[in-house]
């Protein structure tokens, strides 16, 4: 498997450019957070900083997708559990009615 590198143009707002500059400036909260996550090389260049921020965003998306999947599994489990309980109650009522 090759790790081809592709460069894409990314439109950024002024606020995003300011945040990018802050992430690359030692001593700022964004720089500290970025380097804690991705290491000091993440702030070496604009490209490396953008790459690290993108990777962080992907990690957050993965976390949210996983949480969403767990929520769906829990909802399915609730439906199955409620159906099972209703079935047991129905059989119990039928049994009591026959007694």
Q: Which of 3-7, 47-51, 62-66, 83-87 has the lowest mean pLDDT?
A: 83-87
CB 38, CB 56: distance < 8 Å: yes
Q: What is the pTM of this model?
A: 0.65
* Cβ-based neighbour number of residue 50 at 10 Å: 17
Helix (H, G, I), strand (E, B) or coil at 6: coil
What's the rounded Cα separation, in Å, for the pair 34 and 19? 11
Inform me whether the pLDDT recorded for 6 exceeds 90: no
């Amino acid at each position: 498997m090759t790790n081809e590198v592709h460069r894409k143009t990314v439109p950024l707002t002024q606020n995003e450019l300011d945040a990018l500059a802050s992430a690359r400036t030692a001593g700022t909260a964004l720089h500290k957070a970025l380097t804690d996550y991705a290491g000091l090389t993440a702030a070496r260049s604009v490209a490396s900083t953008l790459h690290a921020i993108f990777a962080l965003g992907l990690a957050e998306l993965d976390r949210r997708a996983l949480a969403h999947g767990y929520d769906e599994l829990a909802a399915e489990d609730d439906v199955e559990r409620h159906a099972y309980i209703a079935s047991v109650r129905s059989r119990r009522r039928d049994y009591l009615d026959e007694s």
